[in-house]
Amino acid sequence: MITTKERSKLKSISMNMQDGVIVGKDGLTDNVVTSVEKLLEAKEIVKVKVLNNSDITPRELCGKLCEALRAEPVLVIGNKAVIYRRRQSDDKPHLLD
């Protein structure tokens, strides 16, 4: 569980990020989950954009991804969601250290 201070730091980091994954009309697929998981392991934070023609809302998508990947929701605003999960390996510095 991340604290309010950590969430604020992650929000500020995410404001300058590009969309890591874009979810289209197929919604939450295995490919989306795999892509988000790889990005979380590489960067610890991912911004996901949900297109208007998608059958899933950004809030639903964020909840399902966080549950499936044991991640933390940081922010859901408009058609974007930001997800955080601490990297398993310690070879690179972590965002919240």
Task: Name the residue type at position 70.
Answer: R
pTM: 0.90
In angstroms, rounded to a whole number, what is the distance separating the alpha carbons of residues 58 and 78?
8
In angstroms, rounded to a whole number, what is the distance separating the alpha carbons of residues 48 and 33?
11
Q: What are the start-end ranges of the E strands in 1-97?
A: 21-23, 45-50, 72-77, 80-84
More confident residue, 29 or 96: 29
Asked whether the beta carbons of 66 and 81 are under 8 A apart, the reply is: no
User: What architecture is the 4-84 domain classified under in CATH?
Assistant: 2-Layer Sandwich (3.30)
Tens-digit pLDDT profile for residues 29-68: 999 999 999 999 999 999 999 999 999 999 999 999 999 9
Angle at 48 (CA atoms; ends 46, 51), nearest 5 degrees: 170
Work out the end-to-end distance of the chain between its first and last CA atoms, rounded to an integer number of angstroms.
15
- Predicted confidence band of residue 82 (pLDDT cuts 50, 70, 90): very high
Q: What residues pair up with 75 in beta bridges, in sequence order?
A: 82
